[in-house]
Chain A
């Protein structure tokens, strides 16, 4: 075992990159849940985004087109969930599970011709001057565009929820849909938009896995990241800023365990691979005592007659 082979600067830099898929999926789900919808289909939307993005990037040679298509793919799948829960008034939990099961099947169907192919590389944006700063440079300023986009998205969601009228309406719909409806807000429309946004974010997160993190396509490659993103929203008490914190925590754990595997720690690989999931459970245990932060109408079905 050689722990000195782990370079802390590289570790931090890859922590930022490793947290990006979880961050994207979680910030999308945060908006969905703040609108009062519990979409358990994140895993399915992520993996659909992963294959959509991968296929388009491979066929067009442009990772950018891949990311756009991944967002569209994720959003399209999420609209199925929106149709089930908002129009057909189906149970949120069951519909979300259906979305995940369907998404996993669909992705492996779409991905059949893409196993073992390398995607076109996503260019890194080395920000001039800033990326030359020792330590901070490689950690913060030499990533690809998606990393910055994810961070910008967190800031935008935070600002939107806190300072804008649209954010206020979204929160009203999530806290008490009957009151929001009585005030004349279009509950279903707000929720469908939120669901589509969440789907697009999850799709982007999935594509970041298949195009940048791994980068290749394998069946079931998201391996629970979508579910961890769901746990992250609980961990963050439905606050955008804390999602960032949580994503770094999970990014850190997964990067650290990979580094420990590479360094040859005397623990079987399988037990190290369990750690992100065990940490998720641990975090849920610590954070779940305070339920008061959950949006009031989370997971409840809205119909104007009631």
Chain B
């Protein structure tokens, strides 16, 4: 008896939907085992992470957090998914996020204390342009010199982190901050504050932007010629070239869009939940968004669901940290596992597991 993988003539439709669910379930099991190994009650830990934020005693406080944490993840993942679909790997979203936050907050700090209605719009524009510029570096280098966009975009994350530190300690430091690192707190600057639109709902402009991005991406991929070209390039690059798809334009579009979206996400975060440019205002959303993009099957609606689920693990993880003493790193491992299992389960979409009961016939062995 042995198992063999047999290629399916067409990807199995039901597995496209089933595999993320299965991956989440397997991750819960493996994560439970991990938590048990850390000496925690696995059932309590899993239910704290997945149940408590939604239906627990303090759910009224945690539910809005779902939107606050999910919005940047969805916004970034939407951009990444466009590129991933076309085989263009932008994994430097964290850097674009940081630079977008810096340029956006820079506009606010430059105009301080101007109280104008257009200021916030200008900040969003600056944030998007900052992320766009940072994303264009790997794109242009790839087009001009053939460099690998994976490595360049990632190197730029480390450059952006150093730039953030330089800004928080230097030009953007709060002049009234008693010498502490970090900029003015934008939450105390009404014209620049990304405040909740409805008090207590967690709904801020970033959430709105994320929803708009989902809708636009959905239409783009399903209805627009550019979306068709993206999908074609990802599935059959040679065929796409024969069909007249311009690869250079796709690279510019995908890296530019994902950079701009990540930059906007950074701006919404720094002017809202985070409040100020500080050395560590970024918490790795740019990297977690990669998991979100894959968990959502690179599909806009899927990403919306995956972003909320990932936000849930962030919030639940924090609760488990304070209530059960679960280490923060355990949640990081948990999220990493999720991507692992997702990729592993994915094989069932394209291949069928065959149980061969007889010894393989040597005349038709592989």
- Do A and B interact with each other, yes or no? yes
Q: What residues of chain A have their CB less than 8 Å away from a CB belonging to chain B? A: 40, 80, 83-84, 88-91, 93-95, 97-98, 101-106, 108-109, 112, 223-224, 227-228, 230-231, 234, 268, 270-271, 273-274, 277-278, 280-281, 284-286, 288-289, 291, 303-306
B166 to A98, Cβ gap below 8 A?
no
Chain B residues, CB < 8 A from A271: 162, 166
Q: Say if the beta carbon of B319 comes within 8 Å of chain A.
A: no
Q: How far is the CA of A278 from the CA of B5 in the complex (A)?
A: 44
Binary A-proximity of B327-366 (CB < 8 A = 1, otherwise 0): 1011111111101100110110011000000000000001
Residue of A280, A289, A291 touching B155 (CB-CB under 8 A):
A280
Q: Which of B101-109, B140-148, B215-223 makes up part of the contact surface?
A: B140-148
Binary A-proximity of B235-262 (CB < 8 A = 1, otherwise 0): 0000000000000000000000000000
Q: Which of B115-123, B126-134, B287-295 makes up part of the contact surface?
A: B287-295
Q: How far is the CA of A84 from the CA of B89 in the complex (A)?
A: 19
Binary A-proximity of B295-337 (CB < 8 A = 1, otherwise 0): 0000000000000000000000000000000010111111111
Chain B residues, CB < 8 A from A223: 158
Closest chain-A Cβ to B318's Cβ sits at a distance in Å of: 15
Q: How far is the CA of A231 from the CA of B7 in the complex (A)?
A: 34
Q: Which 6 A-B pairs have the closest CB atoms?
A: A105-B332, A102-B336, A270-B166, A109-B329, A108-B329, A105-B333
Closest chain-A Cβ to B4's Cβ sits at a distance in Å of: 9
Q: How far is the CA of A305 from the CA of B343 in the complex (A)?
A: 20
Chain B residue at minimal CB-CB distance from A96: B150
Closest chain-A Cβ to B9's Cβ sits at a distance in Å of: 11
B141 to A106, Cβ gap below 8 A?
no
Chain A residues, CB < 8 A from B350: 89
Chain B residue at minimal CB-CB distance from A90: B343
B332 to A104, Cβ gap below 8 A?
yes
Inter-chain contact total with CB atoms closer than 8 Å: 137
A285 to B6, Cβ gap below 8 A?
no
Closest chain-A Cβ to B22's Cβ sits at a distance in Å of: 13
Given A90-B344, A270-B165, A101-B339 contact (CB < 8 Å): yes
Residue of A98, A104, A109, A274 touching B343 (CB-CB under 8 A):
A98
Residue of B141, B152, B287, B329 touching A101 (CB-CB under 8 A):
B287
Cross-chain pairs A/B with CB under 8 angstroms, 21 sampled: A40-B150, A89-B347, A93-B150, A94-B339, A94-B343, A97-B290, A102-B340, A103-B336, A105-B332, A105-B336, A106-B336, A109-B330, A270-B162, A277-B156, A278-B159, A288-B145, A291-B146, A303-B351, A304-B366, A305-B6, A305-B366
B152 to A284, Cβ gap below 8 A?
yes
Q: Say if the beta carbon of B163 comes within 8 Å of chain A.
A: yes
Q: Say if the beta carbon of B151 comes within 8 Å of chain A.
A: yes
Chain A residues, CB < 8 A from B155: 224, 227-228, 231, 277-278, 280-281
Q: Say if the beta carbon of B154 comes within 8 Å of chain A.
A: yes
Chain B residues, CB < 8 A from A83: 344
Given A284-B147, A285-B145, A285-B147, A306-B7 contact (CB < 8 Å): yes
Q: How far is the CA of A97 from the CA of B351 in the complex (A)?
A: 23
**CB interface residues, B 3-56, toward A, < 8 Å:** 5-7
Chain B residue at minimal CB-CB distance from A93: B89
Q: What residues of chain B have their CB less than 8 Å away from a CB belonging to chain A? A: 5-7, 89, 91, 141, 145-148, 150-152, 154-159, 162-163, 165-166, 169-170, 287, 290-291, 294, 327, 329-337, 339-340, 343-344, 346-347, 350-351, 366
Q: How far is the CA of A289 from the CA of B141 in the complex (A)?
A: 11
Given A97-B290, A274-B162, A109-B333 contact (CB < 8 Å): yes
A303 to B346, Cβ gap below 8 A?
no
Closest chain-A Cβ to B351's Cβ sits at a distance in Å of: 7
Residue of B165, B351, B366 touching A89 (CB-CB under 8 A):
B351
Chain A residues, CB < 8 A from B330: 105, 109
Closest chain-B Cβ to A83's Cβ sits at a distance in Å of: 7
Given A227-B151, A303-B5, A112-B159 contact (CB < 8 Å): no
B148 to A284, Cβ gap below 8 A?
yes
A268 to B344, Cβ gap below 8 A?
no
B327 to A109, Cβ gap below 8 A?
yes
Contacts A278-B155, A285-B145 supplied; 14 other A-B pairs, CB < 8 Å: A40-B150, A80-B340, A89-B347, A93-B150, A101-B336, A101-B339, A105-B332, A108-B329, A224-B154, A231-B155, A270-B166, A277-B159, A280-B155, A305-B366
Given A40-B150, A112-B327, A288-B148, A102-B333 contact (CB < 8 Å): yes
Given A84-B344, A268-B166, A280-B337 contact (CB < 8 Å): no
Q: How far is the CA of A80 from the CA of B339 in the complex (A)?
A: 12
Chain A residue at minimal CB-CB distance from B168: A270
Chain B residues, CB < 8 A from A108: 329, 332
Chain B residues, CB < 8 A from A40: 150
Closest chain-A Cβ to B147's Cβ sits at a distance in Å of: 4
Q: How far is the CA of A274 from the CA of B156 in the complex (A)?
A: 9
Closest chain-A Cβ to B59's Cβ sits at a distance in Å of: 27
Q: How far is the CA of A88 from the CA of B141 in the complex (A)?
A: 33
Closest chain-B Cβ to A87's Cβ sits at a distance in Å of: 8
Chain B residue at minimal CB-CB distance from A83: B344
Chain B residues, CB < 8 A from A224: 154-155, 157-158
Residue of B148, B327, B339, B351 touching A102 (CB-CB under 8 A):
B339
Closest chain-A Cβ to B279's Cβ sits at a distance in Å of: 10
B146 to A288, Cβ gap below 8 A?
yes
Residue of B147, B287, B327, B366 touching A288 (CB-CB under 8 A):
B147
